[in-house]
Amino acid sequence: MRRFVDAAWEALSPQGISWIGFYFKDDGAETMTLGRRRDKPACSPIGLHGVCGRGWREQRSIVVRDVRVLGPDYVACDPRDQSEVVVPLFDSAGRCTGVLDADSFDVGAFTEHDAKELARLLVACGLTTERSLGAVVTI
């Protein structure tokens, strides 16, 4: 995971992402805890009410073109972030264990194509199963 976020950061930060990292569902709690990430600290733990929690609950990728439409359901670790993409992670038993999360200071920075390509990269790196290649919702 460290190598994935390092490589993704190096490739995508010049394209406008402001942060990328993993969140994992905490056993027996309604929270997620931060895993490997780049390039600054982030909120941890976070509740399941945000986009990461929704991606975990719905077990599908989510693209948020403008985080302002989320209102109180947005977990704002950096108030400069304007858009977000979340991709769920699945273990070999098919359980959703967490998500990959990426943010940008730009509105509309992510597309369904981006979510699908991130999922393909995660599968290729052995960090999730092909189940991550499923449906994408855009907000």
Rounded CA-CA distance 5/1 in Å is: 6
Residue carrying structure tokens 């930060």: 13
CATH number at residue 87: 3.30.450.40
* Predicted confidence (pLDDT) at residue 6 exceeds the cutoff of 80: yes
Segment 116-120 long-range contacts (CB within 8 Å, at least 24 positions apart): 116/61, 118/8, 118/61, 118/85, 118/87, 119/61, 119/87
Q: Which domain holds residue 7?
A: 2-138
Is the peptide bond preceding residue 39 cis, with omega within 30 degrees of 0? yes
H/E run at residue 107: none
Phi, psi of 57, rounded to the nearest 5 degrees? -65, -45
Rounded CA-CA distance 117/97 in Å is: 20
Number of separate domains in the chain:
1
What is the pLDDT averaged over residues 115-123? 97
pLDDT at 86: 97
Q: How do residues 56-110 score in pLDDT, each as one tens digit?
A: 999 999 999 999 998 877 887 788 899 999 999 999 999 999 999 999 999 999 9
pLDDT at 102: 96
- Helix (H, G, I), strand (E, B), or coil: what is residue 58? helix
